[in-house]
Chain A
């Protein structure tokens, strides 16, 4: 019998159809992967099973019985638990407090008993968890563990994991998969949402593919392969290879020496970072999220005035310009052509409530002598970006907040490239983008590289970093743990460097 079955489920948000006639079944003791690009409706579908959204049409069966899941509470009662992509945890609570949150039983409120039960569950499946630790003191993988224990604590038999590996290192991912397999062998049904092909192949028993909200097919993992799955997911054959040309006469463009940075709590964020970015090559930066990548780029861009060390820009005429203790405006006035695509697109990169044209002006508003704005050049630029990068938008005057993630990113990258930089820094430029948009961005970066730009690319997907970058700098809690050649490095090697602790070699596993 199927533990969970969806029949012809449809969900609309206004005019947007997020899911259309989707069918899905999960058996007990099975891991089902739900595969689809971003925006294909995977998360919406899962939210309907978890009671966050309510389907407009269709039926849901649990253990063969038709059910109505109108709220997360209904889902719990049916033993369905969801681990969201963005963790649903209260930061100032302890692990146990988060785990017992929302449980309605007649028993007296007793955290000690709950802690015991948490430890019991953890040891059964092989988790590591400190029940008294506060969430804000935890690493991402610890937080995920709390989320999983939370649904198990409630006696969930059907577990839904929404892109659980997006924030994990390869080693942590492997650990997670081991736990998932243990739970499957224990008879639980597991649905894992992902768009990473190799994970689908390594962990799942069957795969359900969604494309643009529509159900495509369900296949047994053992009987399929990467190319076939990709074709079903994207709807057409795509080449998964990123072209990587040899760098053409690279010269040093940006030299960073002994860069140190402390945050407001006096904790070292960057510890003696030194590297050189060369023209005509892509320098990748790999590391666990929050290891100092963001601060490194921001220091170069002139956003951290408290940074110590040397940052030198060597312009194409071989003139050295010191960038330390300069504001972004001063850096621009020195003639340094530096472009920065920040991680936080709508926070640092673009203003969400302003339209595409106005956002273009954020880069150029200081130009011109008149006290009035000249809106023609930005208008032209906006139009050309929309045409060239195929930005899907009703018009150039639509607030960027209303565009999808991929289109927002195209606008931002387009604007930064339009200022013909010599150094282009991009932090997680493909985060949240579908495969097609991601490849558009990779191609743009490659184009810049071939034009002789020194590209610095902070990425999270090691497969992409290894295919795209000429050299990869690995950063681990603020220190450079290695700089490797992108053509010869292995994923495991980079993964180990990512978790390397300064001065000591940490034993993973």
Chain B
């Protein structure tokens, strides 16, 4: 493999890892509040389709596509869609104290169906012959890169060849890590996830923190879905195209032992494993073995973290449990 191949591999891995990074960062913030949001894969779907709907109507509105609005409209639609879905999850699990696992799985099923339903509808509106929808003009705005990057050879290819959402994902992850570790808000949030009764007795509003963390986390995860369509797939929506990336994002949360900083590295690693089969020469018959790698790694990591003993590396203690103050 020559240098250019390696550079291309790395840049593809970064692109592949970015949706995972959004999902993982969002889920870490959520889980730190003690909410095990298994609806994240669904929320990422809804984030994606909401952005697509916004972009679709803007692109087909007849007016000329301004890059600024082409980014802003899908972005806001995506945030709104994921926020509403997260609010639904919060209302069910925090206010009504429903079981988190069941609610999360229901949201995922709902989200995938929601995405495919509206994706299908948009394709019907176009009376298109192909089973996908293309938002090329919108995607072009999302994929705007640094002009000087292309002149800088391999370095430019690895570090400067991406649209703004790749960098945004890193910035969000770094800020999340800082907030969790170094601020009062982070301390309070971690306390809520570890031991809500303690946080409550210390005067921290447990429900407020849970709602905020879950909604913000959901919105960040939704951006992952948007990135996948607008940047990675060049604005092409096809039903079920996002695949199982949402579940991989949840696996990365465990892999990164609930640290947003680590999730940057692990997301790109998973991204690399995801596309590895394109870059190594194996007989067709063995290809599925290579494609299996991310999942195998996930299982190994799950086993690894469960035997690891350090208390700080364990999941938040009250993860998945509902909190009710006057419980006797």
For residue A92, CB closer than 8 A to chain B, the reply is yes
B183 and A109 within 8 A (CB): yes
Contacts of B203 in A (CB 8 A): 71-73, 76, 102, 104
B184 and A109 within 8 A (CB): yes
Given contacts A13-B328, A102-B203, A265-B309, contact A89 B198 (CB under 8 A): yes
A88 and B183 within 8 A (CB): no
Q: How many residues of A contact B (CB 8 A)?
A: 26
- Chain A, residues 72-93, CB within 8 Å of chain B (1/0): the string is 1100100000101000111111
A84 to B309, CA, bound (A): 29
B52 → chain A, closest Cβ, in Å? 41
Q: Choose among B182, B190, B326 the residue that contacts A53 (Cβ–Cβ < 8 A).
A: B326
Given contacts A72-B201, A92-B312, A109-B182, contact A102 B328 (CB under 8 A): no
A100 to B185, CA, bound (A): 12
Residues in B192-213 with C-beta less than 8 Å from chain A: 194-195, 197-204
For residue B14, CB closer than 8 A to chain A, the reply is no
For residue B311, CB closer than 8 A to chain A, the reply is yes
A81 to B194, CA, bound (A): 22
Contacts of B197 in A (CB 8 A): 88
Contacts of A50 in B (CB 8 A): 201
Given contacts A53-B326, A88-B195, A92-B194, contact A136 B201 (CB under 8 A): no
Kindly report which residue of chain A lies nearest to residue B328, judged by CB atoms: A13
Given contacts A102-B188, A109-B184, contact A88 B328 (CB under 8 A): no
A-B contact count (CB 8 A): 67
Residues in B164-182 with C-beta less than 8 Å from chain A: 182
For residue A325, CB closer than 8 A to chain B, the reply is no
Contacts of A102 in B (CB 8 A): 188, 191, 199, 202-204
B179 → chain A, closest Cβ, in Å? 11
B20 → chain A, closest Cβ, in Å? 27
B145 → chain A, closest Cβ, in Å? 38
A71 to B203, CA, bound (A): 7
A292 to B184, CA, bound (A): 39
A472 → chain B, closest Cβ, in Å? 35
B325 and A101 within 8 A (CB): no
A72 to B311, CA, bound (A): 28
B328 and A89 within 8 A (CB): no
A101 to B196, CA, bound (A): 12
B202 and A88 within 8 A (CB): yes
Q: Choose among B194, B199, B326, B328 the residue that contacts A91 (Cβ–Cβ < 8 A).
A: B194
For residue A52, CB closer than 8 A to chain B, the reply is yes
For residue A97, CB closer than 8 A to chain B, the reply is yes
A104 to B208, CA, bound (A): 15
Residues in A108-142 with C-beta less than 8 Å from chain B: 109, 134, 136
For residue B317, CB closer than 8 A to chain A, the reply is yes
Contacts of B190 in A (CB 8 A): 90, 93
A152 → chain B, closest Cβ, in Å? 14
For residue B287, CB closer than 8 A to chain A, the reply is no
Q: How many residues of B contact A (CB 8 A)?
A: 25
A50 to B197, CA, bound (A): 13
A13 to B328, CA, bound (A): 9
Given contacts A72-B202, A76-B203, contact A91 B195 (CB under 8 A): yes
Given contacts A97-B187, A101-B188, A136-B311, contact A88 B326 (CB under 8 A): no
Contacts of A88 in B (CB 8 A): 195, 197-198, 201-202
Of the candidates A71, A97, A100, A102, the one having the most CB atoms from chain B within 10 angstroms of its own CB is: A102
The majority secondary structure among interface residues of chain A is: loop
Kindly report which residue of chain B lies nearest to residue A82, judged by CB atoms: B201
Contacts of B204 in A (CB 8 A): 101-102
A89 to B195, CA, bound (A): 8
B195 and A109 within 8 A (CB): no
Contacts of B188 in A (CB 8 A): 101-102
Q: Choose among A71, A76, A90 the residue that contacts B194 (Cβ–Cβ < 8 A).
A: A90
A109 to B180, CA, bound (A): 12
A233 → chain B, closest Cβ, in Å? 22
A101 and B199 within 8 A (CB): yes
Contacts of B198 in A (CB 8 A): 88-90, 98, 101
A206 → chain B, closest Cβ, in Å? 27
A91 and B202 within 8 A (CB): no
Kindly report which residue of chain B lies nearest to residue A16, judged by CB atoms: B328
A92 to B180, CA, bound (A): 14
A92 and B311 within 8 A (CB): yes
Q: Choose among B187, B309, B312, B317 the residue that contacts A101 (Cβ–Cβ < 8 A).
A: B187
- Chain A, residues 56-76, CB within 8 Å of chain B (1/0): the string is 000000000000000111001
Given contacts A72-B201, A82-B201, A92-B194, contact A52 B312 (CB under 8 A): no
Q: Choose among A92, A101, A134, A265 the residue that contacts B202 (Cβ–Cβ < 8 A).
A: A101
A84 to B194, CA, bound (A): 18
Kindly report which residue of chain A lies nearest to residue B325, judged by CB atoms: A52
B108 → chain A, closest Cβ, in Å? 29
A101 to B328, CA, bound (A): 24
Kindly report which residue of chain B lies nearest to residue A134, judged by CB atoms: B311
Contacts of B311 in A (CB 8 A): 91-92, 134, 136
A96 → chain B, closest Cβ, in Å? 11
Contacts of B191 in A (CB 8 A): 90, 93, 101-102
A413 to B7, CA, bound (A): 71
A265 to B309, CA, bound (A): 9
Of the candidates B191, B197, B326, the one having the most CB atoms from chain A within 10 angstroms of its own CB is: B191
Contacts of B309 in A (CB 8 A): 265
Contacts of A13 in B (CB 8 A): 326, 328
Pairs A-B, 10 closest by C-beta atoms: A102-B202, A73-B203, A88-B198, A102-B203, A88-B201, A109-B184, A101-B202, A90-B194, A102-B204, A72-B203
11 A/B residue pairs, CB under 8 Å, sorted by A: A13-B328, A52-B201, A91-B194, A92-B314, A93-B187, A93-B194, A100-B187, A101-B198, A109-B183, A136-B311, A265-B309
16 further A-B pairs in the complex, CB-CB below 8 A; given A52-B325, A102-B191: A50-B201, A52-B201, A72-B201, A73-B203, A88-B198, A88-B201, A90-B191, A90-B195, A90-B198, A92-B311, A92-B312, A98-B198, A101-B202, A102-B202, A109-B183, A109-B184
